[in-house]
Amino acid sequence: MFHHPCQMAKPGLLDIDDVEHDRAKQTRIKFMQDYADGPVLILSTHFATPTAGKIISDGGGYKFHS
């Protein structure tokens, strides 16, 4: 769903694997709305170290915080 943490700030940034562009963006947005600022720990295999953290609100968007 996320190929890079910058997609939390800009969920419309596409990756070559996002074959359904609109669905990819909406999936990211919905996931962040549902799980930001909560106890959910994100474990990513695509992110550079550190790969574990949380999604937090950042102004009108979101960011990854390890």
Total-model pTM: 0.89
**CA-to-CA distance for 58 and 28, rounded, in angstroms?**
15
Residue 28 sits at φ, ψ, to 5 deg, of -60, -45
Render pLDDT for 9-41 as a digit per residue (tens, 0 to 9): 999 999 888 999 999 999 999 999 999 999 999
What ranges do the domains of the chain cover?
6-65
CB 32 within 8 A of CB 7: no
Which residue stretches of 10-66 are H helix?
21-35
Q: How confident is the model at residue 54 (pLDDT cuts 50, 70, 90)?
A: very high
- CB neighbours of residue 6 within 10 Å: 12
Retrieve residue 49's tokens: 């170290």
